[in-house]
Amino acid sequence: MIGFFVMASRIKPIIFVLLGLTLSCTAGAQIERRDFFMPGGAGRLHVREVSNHRNTKSRNLILLHGGGPGGVPSFDLPGPGYSLAEDFALRGFRVFVMDVRGWGGSKKPHEMDLPAEKSTPLVSTKEAADDIETVVGWVGRRTHEKTALLGWASGGHWACAYASRRPADLSELILLNTLYSINAPWELRSSMQDRANTERFDPHGGGYRIVDRNGLLRRWDASIPSTDKAEWRDPAVADAYVRQTLKTDRTSSTRVPPSVRIPIGYQVDAFNLSLGRPLFAAKEIRVPVLIIRGELDFWSRPLDLTALARDLVNSPEVHTVTIKNGTHYLFLDRPERGRSQFIAETMNFINRHP
């Protein structure tokens, strides 16, 4: 099905193009998916709406990816039981899976069509927050309601940067495995630092990195405390995660092995956060905040959770949760390995704010 939505703007009409619509039935529900493109970012932003067609009283929730794959590979895998977007849609949400510029279906900066060394690190926190602002504004005009915002990993500090800028547009903020500006040991710092100046990001990194299947799964595999990864993660989920990520880059098949281009501006920001250099003012966030961390997460640190909670002095509610044995990818792991608890904690938190 092809369609067009035209929404009014004070400056000029903005056209949102609906490229496809799919319906599926799950446990008596009718799940509907629509893919939209809108002006913004590097020229075009992609948003997928996932909703229960039979639920007429849905609340809004935006799912925001991190610095690995884009939104759909993270939150809407086709394998049964492993689409976080569908899980929340079944629980009464109208879910919007967005892609920041450079990821997924959103347009990539033109520098990504050049060799990586021809540009500096691409896509900053400010640019990501600009893209979030575009999508939150569109969701608000489309539904006439505020939205909750859930950010994973780098998506968490992007979400915080936006929430500190425009807190009145959000109903809740949920953060998963997110770094905060605390000068404390961070195991990934050594792989990013300049050898001549260990407190500076490596200036030779270029604008983006190229990641193949092994690169997409390496950290996930390493964080699972079992030699048999299938005890923690369905092998079909890992395959779908890689396959869907590679599909987001039209150039993936031109390289051997197939691989995806990923902007590295998020790494620069993470490097600086790990040294205590702030990217946003936590005191400006004025919505209820839930901070969740997997105990086995390789990205965030326990101090990030406690320090951010301490600094959210103007949030009307701050709740923190550490999921025992949860990995960085806990919502893609088996239900008993943290996935079910993550969904339950998020639902319980949002439902406290009708």
- What is 26-64 written as a DSSP string? ETTEEEEEEEEEES-TTS-EEEEEEEETT-SSPEEEEEE
List the CATH number of the domain containing 278. Answer: 3.40.50.1820
Name the region of 28 (left: φ>0; alpha: ψ -120 to 50; beta: rest). left
Evaluate if residue 3 carries a pLDDT over 50: no
What is the model's pLDDT at position 45? 98
Cα–Cα–Cα angle for 163, 129, 293, nearest 5°?
Answer: 60
Indicate left, alpha or beta for 136 from its phi (over 0: left) and psi (-120 to 50: alpha): alpha
The answer to whether residue 136 scores a pLDDT higher than 70 is: yes
Higher pLDDT, 42 or 170: 170
Span 342-348, mean pLDDT? 97
3-class SS of residue 352: coil
Q: Is 196 exposed, middle or buried (0-12, 13-18, 19+ CB in 10 A)?
A: exposed
CA torsion, ordered 115, 116, 117, 120, to nearest 10 deg: 130
What is the C-alpha to C-alpha distance for residues 66 and 341, in angstroms, rounded to an integer? 20
Tell me what the mean pLDDT of segment 217-234 comes to. Answer: 96
Domain count, the chain: 1
The pLDDT of residue 198 is 94
Distance CA 159, CA 136 (A): 11
301/25 Cα distance (integer angstroms): 40
Q: Which pTM does this prediction carry?
A: 0.93
In this prediction, residue 80 carries a pLDDT of 84
Asked whether 189 and 305 are in contact (CB, 8 A), the reply is: no
Question: How do residues 173-220 score in pLDDT, each as one tens digit?
Answer: 999 999 999 999 999 999 999 999 999 999 998 999 999 999 999 999
Residues 38, 14 contacting (CB under 8 angstroms) = yes
Strand order in the sheet with 14-26: 3-7, 14-26, 29-38, 45-52, 93-98, 59-64, 147-152, 170-176, 289-294, 318-323
pLDDT tens digits, residue range 305-332? Answer: 999 999 999 999 999 999 999 999 999 9
Go through the chain and tell me how many residues it has: 354
Angle between helices 265-274 and 154-165 (to 10 degrees): 80
pLDDT of residue 5: 34
Is the CB of residue 233 less than 8 Å from the CB of residue 224? yes
Phi, psi of 271 (to 5 degrees): -55, -45
Residue 343: per-residue pLDDT = 98
In the chain, which ranges are E strands?
A: 3-7, 14-26, 29-38, 45-52, 59-64, 93-98, 147-152, 170-176, 193-194, 197-201, 208-212, 259-263, 289-294, 318-323
Residues 6-54: tens digit of each pLDDT: 333 333 435 455 555 565 555 557 899 999 999 999 899 999 999 997 7
Q: What is the mean pLDDT of residues 334-338?
A: 97
Closest listed residue to residue 135, CA positions, set 109, 103, 110: 103
Identify the pLDDT of residue 42.
87
Give the pLDDT of residue 13: 39
Confidence label for 55 from pLDDT (cuts 50, 70 and 90): confident
Give me the pLDDT at residue 23, please: 54
Give the residue numbers spanning the domain of 194.
3-351
The rounded percent of the chain whose pLDDT value lies above 70 is 92
Please report how the helices 154-165 and 125-143 are oriented relative to each other, as an axis angle in degrees rounded to 10.
Answer: 70
